[in-house]
Amino acid sequence: MARLMQRIGNLDRRVIFVLIALSVFLPLSFRIVFPNPVGAEPSRQLYDYVEALPAGSTVLLSFDYDPSTMPELQPMAYAVCQHLFRRDIRIVAMALWPQGASLGQEVLSEVADSLGGEQYVDWCNLGYKTGGGVMIVRLGSSIQAVFPADKDNRPWAEIPMLRDISSLTDFALVISLSAGDPGVPAWVMMAGDRFGVPIGGGCTAVSAPQFYPYLGTGQMVGMMGGLKGAADYESLVREGTEGAPQGQAIEGMAPQSVAHLVIMLLIVVGNISYFAQKRKGGAR
């Protein structure tokens, strides 16, 4: 037993890498899907808020991420766009991160094509603009001054859905899909607290704990945190929609759960080994 504990304590880290890889690849290969019950999570709060918006409202959707965080944030983008289009809510997209504009275009055009949304009537993509929080303050007075044309250089005046939009306060909601800074904090600080625009968002799991206080104070109306948040939103959007395709985030929750179980097991076994060796005076 003592030798076993010692061997576990000196386990080659590559064995752990293999275990984690198997815990991710096997559930995906066999297309295992775990049930994903959604409780009173912040993602439900965001869903309920969107659900309560009147049809015909306009939402500003900011794609504040790049390909490095796509696995977490892109599924959120698909789920949110599907929800907004189904509710007949118009989407004005933009990006605080350079590559976010292209990622947003990919999502919007794909979802709009599948649900019959028309560019410049139901959605448009203003593209990327540098400046972060400073630029958001400018949006509070005039969006057209910041974005005289959209991503494809179509002038503001020639986009029908923007006729009634002049500043941030004309949006029913701002949703930021954020991988860091600039992202949710800049929107909360500059758009929410300064101009009183309701802010919702999605973020990487790493930054989720940082944003929970904003939910408690009402500075955010709801939030999707990491892959779990994306899976929750996908589940809610799929509820009551027959034949809706299964989202990427829900597929990812089975490997996520198995990998977490493996990590928990390794932590427990590692601690048992550590304390067993410590008792014998072997561990440092």
Partner 1 sequence: MTWEIAGIWAGALLTLCLYSFLYRDNPFYKFAEHLFVGMSAGYWVIYTVENVLKPNWWQMMFPADGSFHWVWIVPGIFALFMLARIVPKVSGLSRMALAMIVGTGSGLAMVSSFQTDALAQVEGTIVSLSAGSAFTIFSNLVLVVGVVTGLVYFFFSKAHTGVTGGAANVGITILMVAFGASFGYTVMARISLLIGQAQFLLFDWLPTIPRLLGMHG
| Interface contacts to partner 1, rule CB under 8 A | 14, 17, 20-21, 24-25, 28-29, 68-72, 98, 128, 130, 133-134, 137, 185, 188-190, 192-194, 204-206, 208-209, 213, 216-219, 225-228, 248, 251-252, 255-256, 259-260, 263
Q: How far is the CB of 75 from partner 1 (least distance, A)?
A: 9
Nearest to 100 by CA among 134, 77, 124: 77
- Peptide bond before 98: cis, by omega within 30 degrees of 0? no
Q: How far is the CB of 153 from partner 1 (least distance, A)?
A: 10
Nearer to partner 1, 85 or 147 (CB): 147
Nearer to partner 1, 235 or 277 (CB): 235
Q: How far is the CB of 280 from partner 1 (least distance, A)?
A: 28
Q: How far is the CB of 257 from partner 1 (least distance, A)?
A: 10
Nearer to partner 1, 117 or 198 (CB): 198
Nearer to partner 1, 45 or 57 (CB): 45
Distance of alpha carbon 255 from alpha carbon 228, whole angstroms? 12
Q: How far is the CB of 143 from partner 1 (least distance, A)?
A: 15
Q: How far is the CB of 72 from partner 1 (least distance, A)?
A: 5
Nearer to partner 1, 118 or 152 (CB): 152
